[in-house]
Amino acid sequence: MSGLSAEQVAHYHEHGWLAPVDVMGESEAAAVLGLLEAAEQQHPDDLHAEHRNNAHLAFPFLAELALDDRIVDAAESIVGPDISLWSTVLFIKEPGSDGFVSWHQDAFYMGLDSGDAAPRSMVTAWLALSESTRQSGCVSVLPGTHTGRAEHHDTFAEHNILTRGQTVSDVDESSAVDLMLRPGQMSFHHPWLIHGSRPNRTANRRVGIAFQSYMGPGVRPVSGEHHVLPIRGAAPDERFTVVEAPTAELTPSAVATRASANAALSAVLYDGASRRRNF
């Protein structure tokens, strides 16, 4: 694959989402999942449910995914040739678990401003490493909601996977679209698109990695410190703290880089919140 078609890009801009986009075959996705599950077993302290942000800064196989041309070429079709990556999240729902994601807009809490360039400056790529269906709690989106900013309130609900359990009030779910993906397929969503996901009611893990977000040069920090990984093209704006991809698994410098990026990310995501959770 080398980028998206004009029809795919037009669909993304009109509706705020695009899926499915083929990235790799199911056997390759299973191999990546195998690497992830081996890493989870070997390094549980570095990849447990409350420590799933920015694992690409400590595990080379995840950094390679973030830099994978098949994903980045598609992202480039939306954000242009100068790209950096703000963060990654491993969204893992265990079999039969209650974890869910409430309706929210990512950009509401990111502490970034993309000004007039918003439609073309940021995109989240969500890569499925296992089957993502309505039953296993795939990402659901509310088409067209990317053109406005919705009010959110914090719930800190027990099984809500989001930091603050942030939720858009009064959502009309009747138009929701489930972004069902085979392993190795990805979806794209706009930073202002309202989306969420239900619990996993299947006997299998639902595993996805969100590259959140690939950013073009139009994005500026508004508050807090922001660590970004250069992906391709021109260097990121000097207001961002530039980080490097890890050269080997969990090197002391990679662990330290991930820790500082996560501390800064947490400060941004919990800015103004009445309390903090451990993730």
Is 86 a residue that touches ligand AKG (CB under 6 A)? Answer: no
Q: Within positions 127 to 186, which residues make up the interface with ligand AKG, using CB under 6 A?
A: 137, 139
Pairing of strands 177-178, 139-141: antiparallel
226 contacts 240 by C-beta, under 8 angstroms: yes
Among 17, 103, 109, 126, binds ligand AKG (CB under 6 A): 126
Q: Measuring CA to CA, which residue among 138, 156, 154, 152 is closest to residue 197?
A: 138
Q: Which is nearer to ligand AKG, 36 or 254 (CB)?
A: 36
Three-class secondary structure assignment of 155-174: CCCCCECCCCCCEECCCCHH
Is 123 a residue that touches ligand AKG (CB under 6 A)? Answer: no
Q: Per the structure block, which two tokens stand in for 227?
A: 């660590």
Q: Which is nearer to ligand AKG, 53 or 197 (CB)?
A: 197
Q: How far is the CB of 126 from ligand AKG (least distance, A)?
A: 5
Q: How far is the CB of 4 from ligand AKG (least distance, A)?
A: 18
Among 106, 121, 166, 268, binds ligand AKG (CB under 6 A): 106
- What is the four-CA torsion angle of 208, 66, 40, 207, rounded to 10 degrees? 10
Q: Within positions 186 to 215, which residues make up the interface with ligand AKG, using CB under 6 A?
A: 195, 197, 208, 210, 212
Burial 117-137 (b: 16+ CB within 10 A, else e): bbbbbbbbbbbbbbbbbebbb
Q: How far is the CB of 208 from ligand AKG (least distance, A)?
A: 5
Pairing of strands 83-85, 206-215: antiparallel
Residues that bind ligand AKG (CB under 6 A): 91, 101, 106, 124, 126, 137, 139, 195, 197, 208, 210, 212
